[in-house]
Structure 1
Amino acid sequence: MTTMQDVADIAGVSKASVSLVLNGRDAGHVKPQTAELIRQTAAKLGYRPNQLARSLRTSRTHMLGFISEEVATTPYAGGIILGAQDAASAYGYVLLTVSTDGMANEEQELAALMRYGVDGFLYSKMSNRITDVPHSLTDYPLVLVDATDRSKRFPSVEPDEFRIGYDATKRLIDAGCKRIAYVGCSEPLIAQSRRLHGYQAALSDAGMPIDDALHVDVLNNGPALRAVSKLFDEQQPDGFFCFNDARAWYVYECAARRGLTVGRDISVVGVDNHRVFAETLDPQLTTVELPHYEMGYWGACRLISIIEGHDVDTSVWPETPAPLPPLDAPIPATIHCKLIDKKSVRE
């Protein structure tokens, strides 16, 4: 097993310098060039810290608790957990994950994680919402993922919902669409209102009128299909921005019933990059990919920086489809999502 002394010998520096750098306490003590040499040498030698000794020395367990409401059981949102896990591993932490189904269950799971002695918590909700942080968490280092604390006391990260609506609508405008509809969600979600505002802003910036008749909010199944069908017949849109990929399916179905070809006669953009819809609809759906991995990664990095009392080394951050915001971004930190062009928007 590679030791700090091994790293010091190869790098030609003192063991004390290696300790400062590898424990994140080199600022002001070790020259940046020397610190970088130590990190490169440690990486090349495959150095791994002794977590037991480290825990005894720092009074930390180097464990993070991730508690979520349904996130762990949602296929395409599992990227949040993967991102948090990758970040935790990169900085010498272990991630413990639990999923809850209500307040009573949540308190039980929180108590279990606390018994393990986790150093801090990631707290996540489904579908980006404003939430009240459980009182039992308020004394711990805490970061919210895909959710915002109502009091804005704690750091949080979420998709830039406004830019989702703006970028999707602008893609349709750039494709030459003149009557662009918004097929929204009838539930009172943060994403719904902000994506709608982004849609309206893109139209306004392009000098196009905002026509309420081109906006319909639906839930699912038969009523949703009938509402979109009525939109087709009464308003005859040539472009559709859909709240998510699932709602884009209703547009595809209505187009097929009328002998219209998606990508030629009408253009469609969804949100999620949900594999079931985005990869199986024909033609494949142009969509905005939600930054689940990025939110999890940023959230864990922010949490570790709070626990350790200094920013983590962001120079080792991975390249991600959506750029990660700085750790000191205002609450909530927002991530500009990537639009993935496929075949559902005409050239």
Structure 2
Amino acid sequence: MTTMKEIAERTGVSISTVSLVLNKRDAGRVKPQVAAKVRETATQLGYRPNPLARSLRTSKTSILGFVSDEIATTPYAGRLILGAQDAARALGYMILTVNTNGETDLEEHEISTLKQYGVDGFIYARMFNQRTTVPESLLSLPTVLLDGTDDTGRVPSIIPDEEAIGYEATRHLLDAGCRNIAYVGASDRAYAADSGRRAGYRRALREAGLETDAGLEVGTTFNQPALDVVGDLFDARHPDGFFCFNDARAWYVYESAARRGLTVGRDISVVGVDNHRIFAETLAPRLTTMDLPHYEMGYWATLKLVSLIERRTPRIDLPHTTSPLPSLDDHDARIRCTLIRKESVV
């Protein structure tokens, strides 16, 4: 196994210099050309850090705890966790993930277990954007809230810019010539996202000189009740455009249109939210949708957490992402979402 001493001898610098460089603490302490030579030599010699030795020396394990409620059982979990893991890997950390199923007792048990493993900090992830109170048991270590807003304001967080989603989706329908635009929202739980997207929808209408109309706004659950609500909306108000809370609810618009002999993308226009792979590959014509940047939110959450742990901004080459990452200086970050144009808008 290659040691720091061997690298120091090969490069003609001290062991302490090698240590600063390989532990990413060389900024302002080691000349850039010297640091580059040390890294190149370490790579050539196949140097691999010893995590156990480093943890004993620094009292840090380079392990992050990822605590979620229902995230691991949702179709969006993969992108959230992948983004977090990719950022952790690039920064020399690893992530331990636990799922609590929304059970308080289980959550406290899992948090305690992660602490026993010596995690350096926590990402506390929620299913969909919601207001939440971060458990007191997390606050002894650096913590970042993912896809939620902390009621107390003590913990930094990242959420989608929900109002911008509603505004940009509705603006796209207006630009396509729609003037009788419906909002198909969610009524099965109190989503923070629903109120934000509805507010953006209304703002876009007002700016276009159109009156908001409560009769064009409906809330749905799923299955037959949702189909009934959307069908009644078609028959009573004859919308020419639909902004849907998510891609799943857009399906009911497609189905209701087909039952009435209408063609999406020709007779009516539809915009969803999620860029959900199943609906993106199933619906015809393909659904125009607002992409929810789950990968980017997971990536930012890890960057933010490491910046709190190390008390510095991580130096890293950021990956290409669909949505730009917010500044790490933000305490309550809102990430803009990207409109994915397809064929469901006239």
- TM-score, normalised via structure 1 length: 0.92
Report whether the alignment pairs 1:322 with 2:329: no
- Residue in structure 2 matched with residue 140 of structure 1 by the alignment: 141
Return the offset for 1:93: 1.1
User: What is the alpha-carbon distance in structure 2 between the residues aligned to residue 45 and residue 180 of structure 1?
Assistant: 63
- What are the within-5 Å matches in structure 2 for residues 207-218 of structure 1? 207-218=209-220
Structure 1 counterpart of 2:223, from 205, 221, 224: 221
- The amino acid that maps onto 1:218 is T
Instruction: Say yes or no: does 1:185 pair with 2:186.
Output: yes
Deviation at 1:63, TM superposition (A): 0.8
Q: 1:8 to 1:269 in 2, by over 3 A?
A: farther
Describe the shift of the 1:328–1:172 C-alpha distance in structure 2 as closer, same or farther (beyond 3 A): same
Which string of whole-angstrom CA distances, capped at 9 and with x for unpartnered residues, describes residues 29-50 of structure 1? 1345655665566567765422
SS of residue in 2 equivalent to 1:344: coil
SS in 2 for 1:97: strand
Q: 1:266 to 1:333 in 2, by over 3 A?
A: same
Match of 2:239?
Answer: 237
The answer to whether the aligner puts 1:83 opposite 2:91 as a matched pair is no
CA offset at residue 207 of structure 1? 2.6
Structure 1 Cα separation of the partners of residues 265 and 73 of structure 2? 33
Name the residue aligned to 1:335.
Answer: 335
Q: Give the structure 1 partner of residue 24 of structure 2.
A: 24
1:279 alignment partner, SS class: helix
* Other-structure match for 1:72: 72
* Bigger mean CA offset, 43-52 vs 17-26: 43-52
Q: Which amino acid aligns with 2:26?
A: D
1:287 alignment partner in structure 2:
289
* Percent identity over paired residues: 61
Alpha-carbon distance change, 59 to 190 in structure 1, aligned in 2, over 3 angstroms: same
Deviations 1:254-283 (A, max 9, x none): 100111110111111101111221210111
AA matched with 1:164: I
In structure 2, give the amino acid aligned to 1:130.
R
- C-alpha distance in 2, partners of 1:231/1:197? 20
Residue aligned with 2:198, SS: helix
Q: Does the residue aligned with 1:216 lie in a helix, a strand or coil?
A: strand
Counterparts of 2:36 and 2:327, CA distance in 1 = 21
**The one of 273, 294, 302 aligned to 1:300:** 302
Q: How many residues align?
A: 344
Please list the CA deviations of residues 89-124 of structure 1 after superposition, one character each: whole Å capped at 9, or x if unmatched. Answer: 111111100001210111111111111111111111
Q: How far has the Cα of 1:18 moved from its partner?
A: 3.7
**Against the structure 1 CA distance between its residues 334 and 7, is the aligned structure 2 distance closer, same or farther, given a 3 Å change threshold?**
farther
Is the CA contact 1:49–1:92 (under 8 Å) kept in the aligned structure 2?
no
Q: Does structure 2 retain, via aligned residues, the 8 Å contact 1:63–1:93? A: yes
SS in 2 for 1:250: helix
Native 8 Å contact 1:169 1:241 kept in 2: yes
Q: Which range is displaced more, 38-47 or 114-123?
A: 38-47
The answer to which of 86-95 and 237-246 deviates more is 86-95
Shift of 1:55: 1.0
Q: Which residue, 262, 266, 275 being the options, matches 1:273?
A: 275
Gapped regions of structure 1 (runs ≥ 5): none
Displacement, 1:188?
Answer: 2.0
Query: Counterpart of 2:65 in 1: which secondary structure?
Result: strand
* 1:205-262, Cα deviation, whole Å (9 max, x unpaired): 2333322221111112222211111111111111110000111011001100111110
RMSD: 2.1
Deviation at 1:152, TM superposition (A): 0.7
Shift of 1:164: 1.0
CA 1:24–1:261: 2 relative to 1, 3 Å: same
